[in-house]
């Protein structure tokens, strides 16, 4: 009898990784050596940063750094526990109070990350017998949160309010009826920089008794009064959008996720959302820096104004060169290339010219929709942007794109 050798239980790890490499779909990490600033050092090279989510430049703001250092002195390096047990510091409560005031909501709850907010709260809001209706281009953290739910799912065409209404109307024909319908959308879509028609989504949801959940990670600090986000941008009332989710890791310049809404929503999440219940709370330095970031947005409006000035300037410049910027309406400005290989070559040449902007290729976007995704920053100067535009023009001509 031939003895069978045991199968290698982890052999698939290397083979799948090697396949990613052969298809040029693996991530090759570059190293940021120093702060995230408009001009920084990446892999030992001085470059202009055009791919950071640090929209307002707050990650290196002196007030945030000072607050973080002071919190370590007064509260230590870590919280020591999850918040429901012994890790709920006065700083955490202060942050949530200030965030709710900033968002003009009854209450807010801070999560460890934006991903934790979506994957932890969405499955609790919709269960068996419910329906989740999601935009087809929603972020992966929303997709994972939906998958964790026992609810049924439906998808509507990207930013298409008429199709959303069609999906909900069809769902209402179901027998027995769904107990709850939850509509979920990104506020600003991170690949194309377009804005969800949240006013229309909220109206349709209201007409059908559905809840609305918006992921405003890329809208905070960018849209609305003083950077308050997409709910403010559309001047919607709090009862029109039941869950406004966001993150401190982009325009706020730090890290962490959060949700804002009614006191009932926050009480519910306190007790039901396992990513919050079972994860260690943020260290004092992080919490204090987040508080300082909110205070900066409230007292220094020039950051949001500079961001939009740079956005308008760069988008116009790129378009005048003959590039297509897709559906962008925000500081996320994709420079459409088409072919993934060409986009990767374009990005590599940009880096050689001192411009750090990454290619976005399949499977993150369709195979023929590869692009260089540029993201504006309030701290960039017109000199920085002109230098970047010259590089785009030079390489665009080299590769026969313009």
Task: Determine the average pLDDT of the residues in 156-169.
Answer: 97
Within 10 A of 180 (CB to CB), how many other CB atoms are there? 15
Residue pLDDT, tens place only, 30-49: 999 999 999 999 999 999 99
Beta bridge partners, 259, equal 109, 245
Residue pLDDT, tens place only, 95-127: 999 999 999 999 999 999 999 999 999 999 999
Band the pLDDT of 1: cuts 50, 70, 90.
low
Residue pLDDT, tens place only, 247-284: 999 999 999 999 999 999 999 999 999 999 999 999 99
> Is 24-53+301-398 a CATH 3.30.413.10 domain?
no
Band the pLDDT of 208: cuts 50, 70, 90.
very high
The separation between the first and the last C-alpha atoms of the chain, rounded to the nearest angstrom, is: 69
Percent of the chain scored above 70 by pLDDT?
99
Give yes or no for a contact between 68 and 285, defined as CB atoms under 8 angstroms apart.
yes
pLDDT of residue 104: 95
175 pLDDT above the threshold of 90: no
Identify the burial level of 335 via C-beta atoms within 10 angstroms of its C-beta, where 0-12 means exposed, 13-18 middle and 19 or more buried: buried
- Looking at 37, 190, 249, 260, which residue is catalytic? 190
pLDDT of residue 181: 97
Beta bridge partners, 49, equal 356
Whole-structure pTM value: 0.94
Band the pLDDT of 7: cuts 50, 70, 90.
confident
Average pLDDT along the chain: 95
Task: From residue 334, give the alpha-carbon distance in Å to each of 192, 267, 319.
Answer: 6, 39, 11
Beta bridge partners, 214, equal 185, 244
Q: Does this chain's domain 24-53+301-398 share its CATH topology with 62-299?
A: no
pLDDT of residue 23: 79
Identify the burial level of 44 via C-beta atoms within 10 angstroms of its C-beta, where 0-12 means exposed, 13-18 middle and 19 or more buried: exposed
Active site residue 305: no
Task: Determine the average pLDDT of the residues in 360-374.
Answer: 89
d(CA 30, CA 91): 34
228 pLDDT above the threshold of 70: yes
- Looking at 61, 139, 218, 233, which residue is catalytic? 218
Instruction: Give the CATH number of domain 62-299; options: 3.40.640.10, 3.20.20.190, 3.10.20.30, 1.10.10.10.
Output: 3.40.640.10
d(CA 56, CA 72): 24
Nearest Cα to Cα of residue 49 among 346, 376, 353, 273: 376
Band the pLDDT of 27: cuts 50, 70, 90.
confident
d(CA 99, CA 104): 8
d(CA 352, CA 347): 9
pLDDT of residue 261: 97
11 pLDDT above the threshold of 90: no
Judged by average pLDDT, the poorest of 19-33, 154-168, 301-315 is 19-33
Helices (H), 6-158: 11-22, 62-75, 90-103, 114-125, 140-148
Judged by average pLDDT, the poorest of 5-19, 158-172, 253-267, 368-382 is 5-19
Within 10 A of 49 (CB to CB), how many other CB atoms are there? 22
Task: From residue 193, give the alpha-carbon distance in Å to each of 115, 315, 321.
Answer: 19, 12, 20
Active site residue 92: no
Cα Rg of the chain, angstroms: 22
Active site residue 190: yes
pLDDT of residue 2: 65
pLDDT of residue 128: 96
Residue pLDDT, tens place only, 310-346: 999 999 999 999 999 999 999 999 999 999 889 999 9
Ordered by start, the domain boundaries in the chain are 24-53+301-398, 62-299
3 pLDDT above the threshold of 80: no
Residue 364 CB partners (closer than 8 Å, separation 6+): 191
- Looking at 139, 250, 282, 344, which residue is catalytic? 250
Band the pLDDT of 4: cuts 50, 70, 90.
low
pLDDT of residue 8: 81
β-strand 370-375 against 332-338: which pairing, if any? antiparallel
Identify the burial level of 22 via C-beta atoms within 10 angstroms of its C-beta, where 0-12 means exposed, 13-18 middle and 19 or more buried: exposed
Percent of the chain scored above 90 by pLDDT?
89
């Amino acid at each position: 009898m031939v003895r069978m050798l045991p199968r290698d239980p982890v052999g698939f790890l290397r083979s799948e990784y090697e396949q990613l490499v052969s298809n040029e779909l693996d991530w090759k990490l570059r190293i940021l050596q120093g702060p995230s600033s408009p001009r920084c050092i990446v892999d030992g090279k001085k470059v202009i940063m055009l791919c950071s989510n640090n929209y307002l430049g707050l990650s290196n703001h002196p007030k945030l750094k000072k607050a973080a250092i002071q919190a370590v002195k007064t509260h230590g390096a870590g919280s020591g526990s999850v918040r429901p047990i012994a890790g709920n510091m006065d700083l955490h409560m202060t942050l949530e109070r200030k965030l709710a005031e900033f968002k003009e909501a009854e209450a807010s709850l801070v999560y460890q990350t934006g991903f934790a907010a979506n994957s932890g709260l969405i499955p609790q809001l919709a269960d068996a017998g419910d329906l989740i209706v999601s935009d087809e281009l929603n972020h992966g953290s929303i997709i994972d949160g939906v998958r964790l739910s026992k609810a049924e799912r439906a998808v509507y065409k990207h930013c298409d309010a008429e199709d959303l209404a069609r999906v909900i109307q069809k769902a209402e024909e179901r027998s027995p009826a769904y107990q709850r319908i939850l509509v979920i959308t990104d506020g600003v879509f991170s690949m194309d920089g377009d804005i969800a028609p949240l006013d229309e989504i909220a109206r349709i949801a209201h007409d059908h008794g559905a809840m609305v959940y918006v992921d405003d990670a890329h809208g905070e600090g960018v849209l609305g009064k003083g950077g308050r986000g997409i709910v403010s941008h559309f001047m919607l009332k709090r009862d029109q959008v039941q869950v406004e989710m966001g993150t401190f890791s982009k325009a706020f310049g730090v890290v962490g996720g959060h949700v804002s809404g009614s006191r009932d929503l926050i009480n519910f999440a306190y007790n039901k959302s396992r990513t919050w219940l079972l994860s260690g709370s943020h260290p004092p330095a992080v919490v204090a820096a987040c508080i300082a970031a909110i205070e900066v947005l409230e007292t220094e409006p020039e950051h949001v104004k500079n961001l939009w000035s740079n956005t308008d300037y760069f988008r116009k410049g790129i378009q005048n060169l003959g590039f297509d910027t897709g559906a962008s309406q925000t500081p996320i400005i994709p420079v459409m290339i088409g072919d993934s290989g060409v986009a990767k070559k374009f990005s590599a040449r940009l880096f050689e010219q001192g411009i750090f902007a990454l290619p976005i290729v399949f499977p993150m976007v369709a195979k023929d929709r590869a692009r260089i995704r540029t993201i504006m920053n309030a701290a960039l100067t017109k000199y920085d942007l002109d230098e970047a535009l010259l590089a785009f023009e030079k390489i665009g001509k080299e590769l026969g794109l313009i």
